Copies of this chain bind each other. A is one copy, B any other.
Amino acid sequence: MIQGLAEEQRLSGAIVQGGLVWLAGRVADDDSPDTGGQTADVLRQVDALLEQAGTHKRRPLSVTAVLADVRDAPAVNRPWDGSPDPATKPARTTVEAALVAPSWPVGITGVAALDGPGARQT
């Protein structure tokens, strides 16, 4: 079964299939804040999508952060580091690339696992 969440005209905000949640690239709903504020906006969207997908806590596997200017990495890391569950550190890739509109300094996409038996081993 393939389940689409938060469907828009030509994409789904997330796809749930086979125990994995595939996120679309998320950018801030409100593009007026600075990079840190937009990152927090994006992380809230990610959390909401994962909750909608049925994961009871954040279980990210792989995350890609796309920064329009890679010198913004510290501004992205501040809200990232303050995320609710610091124990779940995904495999992260950070690259510099323009997003679809210049008002977005950061976009985040990734893959998470649905909750399952057993807990994270650290």
Binding site for B on A (CB under 8 A): 1-4, 7-15, 17-20, 22-25, 59, 61-64, 66, 70, 73, 77, 80-81, 88-100, 107, 109, 111, 113, 116-122
Contact = CB atoms under 8 A, between A and B. Distances in A.
A10 B107 CA distance: 17
Stoichiometry (number of copies): 3
B91 A23 contact: yes
A100 B70 contact: yes
28 contacts: A1-B116, A1-B120, A2-B59, A2-B61, A2-B113, A2-B121, A3-B120, A4-B89, A7-B89, A9-B81, A10-B77, A10-B81, A11-B89, A11-B92, A12-B90, A12-B91, A15-B62, A15-B90, A23-B62, A24-B62, A24-B91, A24-B93, A25-B93, A25-B95, A66-B95, A70-B99, A95-B98, A95-B107
